[in-house]
Amino acid sequence: METQTHEYLPVEIGDNETIDDDEIFNWRKHKSHLLKCIPRRMDWNIKRKQFKEMENIEIAQALSEKSLLR
């Protein structure tokens, strides 16, 4: 889930709960998955970097000349 600082954070999701892609992390409503999951907490810096790289690739593809000319 994206935060107000444009970082990403894994969050806990209940059984019948969904999160909208446009929704921003709110500590009053959402709980970080990193609080309970030690393995994810330990590798989060690597995973967060991968998320950012993926987002940058998606943005570059969307703004490519080929995509814009469709």
For residue 24, is pLDDT > 90? yes
Phi, psi (deg, nearest 5) at residue 47: -65, -40
Q: Across the chain, what does the average pLDDT equal?
A: 86
Per domain, the residue ranges of the chain are 1-70
Give the residue-averaged pLDDT of 6-15. Answer: 88
Give the residue-averaged pLDDT of 4-17. Answer: 88
The residues, ordered by sequence, that sit 6+ positions from 9 with a Cβ below 8 Å of its Cβ are 1, 2, 3, 25, 32, 33, 34
Give the residue from 15, 22, 17 showing the smallest Cα distance to 1. 22
Give the residue-averaged pLDDT of 39-52. Answer: 89
Q: What is the pLDDT of residue 35?
A: 92
